[in-house]
Each structure stands twice: as structure tokens, then as C-alpha cells.
Amino acid sequence: MNAIEILGLEKIYNAGFWRKRSKRALRPLTLAVDDGEIFGFLGPNGAGKTTTLKILMGLVFPTAGTARILGMELDDPRMKAQIGFLPEQPYFYDHLTARELLKYYGQLSGVDPKQLSRKVDAALEQVKLSNSANLQLRKFSKGMLQRAGIAQAILHDPKVVFLDEPMSGLDPMGRREVRNLIEDLKANGKTVFFSTHILSDAEALCDRVAIINQGELRGIGAVPELTASVHGKVEIVWQGAAVPTGIRSMGAQCHSAGDTTRLILPEENQDTALEALRRERLRLISVVPVRTSLEDYFVAQLGTAAKSEVVSSELVTDGHNRLSKQ
Amino acid sequence: MNNRILHIATNTFREAVRDRVLYNLIAFALLMSAAAVLVGQISIQIEKLVVINLGLTAVSLFGIVIAIFIGIGLVSKEIDKRTLYTVLSRPVRRWEFIAGKFFGLAGTLVVNTIFMGIGVFAALAYVSHHFESSDFGILVALYFIILQFVVITALALLFSSFSTPIFAPIFAFWLFVIGNFAQDLRTFAAMAHGTTRVLATAAAYLVPNFSALNVISQVAHGEPVPHRLILLNTAYVLVYSAAVLSGAVMIFERRNLK
Ligand SMILES: Nc1ncnc2c1ncn2[C@@H]1O[C@H](COP(=O)(O)OP(=O)(O)OP(=O)(O)O)[C@@H](O)[C@H]1O
Ligand SMILES: [Mg+2]
């Protein structure tokens, strides 16, 4: 079964009170997340990640399209009792202590009152906030708030957990803890859907990732599948500062540092480059394949223009025209 | 009441208490004691009249100010601060949130009014040393004041649910002032002709009728409040607030959170 199904979601924000300016945050976006997988939702700033999550949580309404979670409509309370959500830069009732906040949220989620205390303590323990449990949230640091946010997202033992940039604001220890926590959730059969720009986290954790840009899906699949399609690169290092003309003409960038020169170029040019070095009798130090990372794929996907780019530029020029007429 | 509404109401009450809203009681207590002492020195005949008048008016004004200033922020502040995200992503329907907020603030005001009412009676006991049966009217006046708070709370929630209001407190306060002249507005409407009549009538019935809810001077003079008025006012406030709250829910149900 699909834990999450997104069917052609579209969102156009109407900004400006007097003069309506519209901003297209999602062009029809369609994707499905399987039950029990860790799914990474990647994209640059302003790509529409938070917008997608807010629509799924019923906080904003889509301009068009629908989505289902656990096979149920977005406004179904039965479904909402089974999901957890960590918003971006979470902020909570700051008159409450962490423990009171979690109790309150547990009550709203319909947690059995007899188990509430135990669940609250367990969640606090999981995010390492037990020592600050009785501190008012207004006295929390950014990272502590983030931890409280994660605690409230998993408190009621939800089946699907949505996390909007879960690692943001956390120290290195905290990031590792959250990574472990996400893996534990998966081990317990939960589905995790999280947005991030930290590609190494996505690479390490996700069963599958989706990359969106300007509200549009640019790629989806398991990380090895995606990166396989990107051509590899190699790093060549040799002694001396001399650069053979053959290499210069390939347009590659060389960096000389001290007694060595370093060059990174696409795999297919490797032989030609080595040939050139041999001809000049330069002393080769190393040839190392540069692992293609999700980052390369990410950058490659953002570089390619999608079909609807035209629409977006129209929208932009439209906005500019209107602005310049003012 | 359903559990979620109760929990939201309780949290709203707790927030008000922790934000030191009940501290207004200290100011009120000071005002009442000062009034009792001063009035006791000025005259013997009218001191009771003055204490009741002043006391009840203060109860009403203190409460109105609290109702407006907290009420206006009930929804808009939660949208601005994004505290709503983690509430509405739970099995809480939007109307339940509005209802919970409403009962939470109304409850806060009831508790506040009970304490102030005790203060008024204490001041009264200080100046006149005994109670008469006509003093029962003070309880009715206090009940009507609570009914006013219910209406104001509903209106504040309505304003709070459609935007981040800057002018809303001023607007709500004016509505309160005009509402106190609702009776005069109706009389005026009855005398007017043509479009003026239509507009005045519409305004007269849209504006909350606070003049019917104000029996302070009657009570101060020891005049009894007709039982029928108690019933009518209760029914009126229930219907009026329910209508206003439905409006707030309808707006809030459609709202995109920022
Ligand atoms: N309330 C709003 N009104 C108008 N435009 C908005 C609103 N919220 C978001 N947008 C626009 O929608 C687009 C997508 O925003 P969104 O917050 O979904 O991006 P994101 O992928 O979460 O970015 P980030 O990585 O920076 O968090 C952006 O261009 C943004 O300007
Ligand atoms: Mg975002």
C-alpha cells in the first residue's frame, strides 16, 4: 500500500492585498511513498517542500489536485491520529514546559490517558530532553525547540511521520541522534517522509528520494539508481606546475598547489589527459575516481530546464511588467 | 463538551493565567478598597449607590478590555507564531479549535468576574454592614456582565479569524460602545424614513444589544430586574454568539495558514 499518495497537487499563492500577485509554488506534483520506507524530499530553497507538507497537513489548501495519507482524505481525523508532523522552525506555546506541551499534544491526538505520562517521558528521553522537561519552552534554545518538535511528532506512536528539515538547528550529536531515530522508526515499521537540503543525510538514510525544483518533480528513485545516471569524474594529480596544452584545450580547470597540480575532469576524458601527461613526461602521482554523489545528481537535475520553465518565466516577466508599471 | 475542545479551552485558560491576566484583579481590588474608603467619608446616603455603580462598571470595563485584547489574539497570534501547525495536524477540526478558544477565554472571564464580584460585595459590606434582599440584583447584573463578555469574546474571535488585525481592538471597542446605544439606535430607526430607515434598522439589529444587558444603574437604585429580561437576554446572547461564532468558523475553515 502507499502510505502517501500525491496526485497532481498544485498551489498558487495569492500575495499582496490590493494588487493580486500570484506565485506558483507547486505545478502539478505527483508522487507516491511506499509503506515503511524512509523517503527524502529534496530541493533548493523555495522549491515547494514546505508547501507540499503544509498541504498534506491540511494547513493550506491546494489550488488543484488531491492527496491521500494511509488511503484516507487529508481532513480525516482517523488519519490525523496516525501521523506526526515536525514543522519547519517549530515554535510552541511558550508558557508551557516541555512536559506540559507533550501532554497537551498527546491529549489532542487521543492518546490513552493511562499511557500518556509514560509516552511523554519516553518521547522526552528519545530526544534527550529529559533534563529540561520542566523548563518553560520560552527558555529553550533553537536546537532544544527542534528536539521538542521531534518529540511531539513521534509521541503518539504515529504510522507516518512527516519532518520538515529535521536536522536544522541541531549540533552534530543531535544530527546523529535524529538519524538514528529515523532509522528506529523505520525498524518499527513506520513510514518517514522528510525534507532536507543536507544531501549526505538523505544519501545515508533514504530508501528513495525525490528531487523537486520550482514546484516540480525532477527525479525520483533510490539513491544508487539516480546517481548511476550521472557520469563519473576522476581526479588526476601530478608533480610540477606545468600543464600540458592538450589538457588546457579540454577546458578543464587545474589547481596548482606547492609542488603538485590537481585536475578534476569527466571520466571519458581520462585517457586523453593521461596520454598528454605521458607525452610531456610529467610524473603522475595519482588517478582517483571521484564518487558521484547525490549532490552531483542534484546539481545536474537543477541545471536541466523542465518543460514548464517557460510558464514560470512568463509568470516572472508578468510580475516584472506589472511592477514596472506601478 | 468533546474532549479536544475541553483540552484546548483548558490550555487557553492556563495561558491567560500564566500571562498574568488575573493580575488585573489586584488593580481592581485596590480600586474597590480606595472607593469604599473614600465614599465612606463623603456621605452616608448614597455610598451604597456609588459603590455598586462604580464596582459593577469597573467589573464590566476590566473584563471588556481583557476580552478584546486576548480575544483578538486568540487565533491570529497562533497563526502568526505558527503554534497552530502542530495543533491542526492532529485530529482537531478547525471548528473545535475555535470552540475551545472561545470556552477558554469565556471561562477565564467568568473566573475573573467571580473574584471581582466577591470584591464588590466585600466593599458593599464595608460601607453598609449588612445585605438586603434587593442586593440579589447585583448577582443578576454580574450575570448580564458575563453575558456581555460572551458576546465580546465571540466578536473578538470573529475578527481574529480573518486577518492579523491591527484595527480590530479599536473596532471591537467601538462595537461595544455602539452596542450600549443599541436601544437608542432602534428608536432612531423606527422614526427614520426611506434608506436611512433600512440602514439604521440593519445596523441596530446587527450591533450587539448591550443596552439591554446593562442593568447597573437599576440595580444600584435597588430596582428589581424582571425575570423575563433574564430569560430574554440569555436567549439573545446564546443566539447572537452562536451566529458570530459560526461566522468565525466559516472564515477560519477556509483560511490558508501562512
Ligand atoms: N504564504 C506564502 N505566500 C506567498 N508565497 C509563498 C508563501 N509561502 C511560500 N511561498 C512561495 O512558494 C515557494 C515555495 O516555498 P516553500 O516554503 O514551499 O519552499 P521550500 O522548498 O520549503 O524552501 P526552503 O528550503 O527554503 O524551506 C517559494 O517561492 C515561496 O516564495
Ligand atoms: Mg521549507
- A57 contacts on B by Cβ (under 8 Å): 85, 88-89
Task: Tell me how far apart the alpha carbons of residues B13 and A253 are, in angstroms, rounded to a whole number.
Answer: 66
Please give the grid coordinates belonging to residue B165.
Answer: 488585525
**A314 inside domain:** no
- Residues in Cβ contact with A269 at an 8 Å cutoff, skipping those fewer than 6 apart: A250, A252
Average pLDDT over residues B37-64: 83
Q: Does B3 touch chain A (CB under 8 A)?
A: yes
Average pLDDT over residues B3-22: 92
Assess whether pLDDT exceeds 90 at residue B170.
Answer: no
Task: Work out the minimum CA distance from A59 to partner chain B, whole angstroms.
Answer: 6
Q: Give SS3 for A223.
A: helix
Residue A10 sits at φ, ψ, to 5 deg, of -135, 140
Cβ atoms within 10 Å of A27's Cβ, excluding its own = 22
pLDDT for the residue B9: 97
Is A190 in the same domain as A109?
Answer: yes
Of A87, A193, A13, nearest to B78 by C-alpha is A87
Assess whether pLDDT exceeds 50 at residue A326.
Answer: no
CATH number at residue A269: 3.30.70
The alpha-helical segments, DSSP class H, found in chain A are 49-56, 77-80, 98-108, 113-126, 142-154, 172-187, 199-205, 223-228, 245-248, 270-279, 294-303, 309-325
Highest mean pLDDT among A73-87, A188-202, A260-274, B120-134: A73-87
User: Does B161 or A166 have the greater pLDDT score?
Assistant: A166
Percent helix, strand and coil across chain B, each to the nearest 5 = 80, 0, 20
- The domain boundary residue, chosen from A175, A209, A226: A226
Averaged confidence pLDDT in chain A? 86
pLDDT for the residue B191: 87
pLDDT for the residue B25: 85
User: Does A326 or B63 have the greater pLDDT score?
Assistant: B63
**Amino acid letter at A55?**
I
Q: What's the pTM?
A: 0.85
Which atom of ligand 1 lies closest to the CA of A48?
18
Assess whether pLDDT exceeds 90 at residue A87.
Answer: yes
Ligand 1 pocket mutation pick from A45, A50, A54, A312 by most atoms within 8 angstroms of CB? A50
CATH number at residue A151: 3.40.50.300
Please give the grid coordinates belonging to residue B255.
Answer: 483560511
User: Does A16 or A189 have the greater pLDDT score?
Assistant: A189
How far does the centroid of ligand 1 lie from the alpha carbon of residue A47, in Å?
7
Q: How many inter-chain contacts (A to B, CB under 8 Å) are there?
A: 74
Task: Tell me how far apart the alpha carbons of residues A105 and A120 are, in angstroms, rounded to a whole number.
Answer: 10
Is A162 in the same domain as A258?
Answer: no
pLDDT for the residue B151: 95
Is A86 in the same domain as A25?
Answer: yes
Assess whether pLDDT exceeds 90 at residue A306.
Answer: no
Average pLDDT over residues A61-88: 96
Length of chain B, in residues: 258
Q: Give SS3 for B30.
A: helix
Per-residue pLDDT band for A190 (boundaries 50, 70, 90) equals very high
Is A94 in the same domain as A179?
Answer: yes
Strand order in the sheet with A191-196: A83-86, A160-164, A191-196, A38-42, A208-213, A216-221
Q: Give SS3 for A63.
A: coil
Average pLDDT over residues A76-102: 95
Partners of residue A32 on adjacent β-strands = A5
pLDDT for the residue B87: 97
Q: Could you give the percent of chain A with pLDDT greater than 90?
A: 58
User: Does B165 or B141 have the greater pLDDT score?
Assistant: B141
**Amino acid letter at A137?**
L
Domain containing residue A250:
230-291
Per-residue pLDDT band for A316 (boundaries 50, 70, 90) equals very low
Contact in structure between A102 and A115 (CB atoms under 8 Å): no
Lowest-confidence segment of A305-309, B123-127, B210-214 by average pLDDT: A305-309
Number of domain units in chain A: 2
Partner-chain contact B86 A104, CB within 8 Å = no
- Residues in Cβ contact with A9 at an 8 Å cutoff, skipping those fewer than 6 apart: A26, A28, A29, A30, A52, A55, A62, A64, A65, A66, A67
Smallest CA–CA distance from A74 into chain B, residue: B89
Is the distance from the beta carbon of residue A87 to the nearest atom of ligand 1 less than 6 Å?
no
Is A116 in the same domain as A131?
Answer: yes
Query: Which helix (H) or strand (E) covers residue B119, if one does?
Result: helix B94-128
Is A135 in the same domain as A254?
Answer: no
Half-sphere exposure of A6 (CA within 13 A, CB side): 26
Is A32 in the same domain as A135?
Answer: yes
Q: Which of B19, B82, B85 is the mutation pick for testing A, counting most A CBs within 10 A? A: B85
Instruction: Give me the interface pTM, i.e. the ipTM.
Output: 0.89
- The domain boundary residue, chosen from A170, A201, A226: A226
Assess whether pLDDT exceeds 90 at residue A145.
Answer: yes
Contact in structure between B127 and B35 (CB atoms under 8 Å): no
Residue A97 has what DSSP assignment? B
Residue tagged 503554534 (cell numbers): B83
End-to-end CA distance of chain B: 30
Smallest CA–CA distance from B91 into chain A, residue: A77
Task: Tell me how far apart the alpha carbons of residues A275 and A247 are, in angstroms, rounded to a whole number.
Answer: 10
Lowest-confidence segment of B6-15, B98-107, B187-196 by average pLDDT: B187-196
pLDDT for the residue A251: 62
Which ligand is nearest the CA of A47, by number?
A: 1
**A204 inside domain:** yes
Task: Tell me how far apart the alpha carbons of residues B60 and B11 are, in angstroms, rounded to a whole number.
Answer: 24
Lowest-confidence segment of A26-35, A128-137, B41-50, B127-136 by average pLDDT: B41-50
- B257 contacts on A by Cβ (under 8 Å): 54, 59-60
pLDDT for the residue A101: 97
Q: Does B20 touch chain A (CB under 8 A)?
A: no
Query: Which helix (H) or strand (E) covers residue B184, if one does?
Result: helix B182-191
Domain containing residue B169:
3-254
Q: Give SS3 for B218.
A: helix
Is the distance from the beta carbon of residue A17 to the nearest atom of ligand 1 less than 6 Å?
no
Q: How many helices (H) and strands (E) does chain A have?
A: 12, 13
CB within 5 A of ion ligand 2: which residues? A 49-50, 88
Lowest-confidence segment of A176-180, A302-306, B121-125, B214-218 by average pLDDT: A302-306
Half-sphere exposure of B202 (CA within 13 A, CB side): 6
Contact in structure between A250 and A272 (CB atoms under 8 Å): yes
Rounded alpha-carbon distances, angstroms, from residue A176 to A58, A171, A200: 30, 9, 12
Please give the grid coordinates belonging to residue A300.
Answer: 545536474
Is A275 in the same domain as A127?
Answer: no
How far does the centroid of ligand 2 lie from the alpha carbon of residue A11, in Å?
15
Is A205 in the same domain as A283?
Answer: no
Per-residue pLDDT band for B91 (boundaries 50, 70, 90) equals very high
Number of domain units in chain B: 1
Percent helix, strand and coil across chain A, each to the nearest 5 = 40, 30, 30
Per-residue pLDDT band for B204 (boundaries 50, 70, 90) equals confident
Is A21 in the same domain as A57?
Answer: yes
User: Does A159 or A310 have the greater pLDDT score?
Assistant: A159
**A240 inside domain:** yes
Query: Which helix (H) or strand (E) covers residue A68, if one does?
Result: strand A64-69
Report B:34-53 residues touching A (Cβ under 8 A).
Answer: none
Is A25 in the same domain as A76?
Answer: yes
Half-sphere exposure of B104 (CA within 13 A, CB side): 26
Task: Tell me how far apart the alpha carbons of residues A114 and B137 are, in angstroms, rounded to a whole number.
Answer: 46
Is A146 in the same domain as A251?
Answer: no
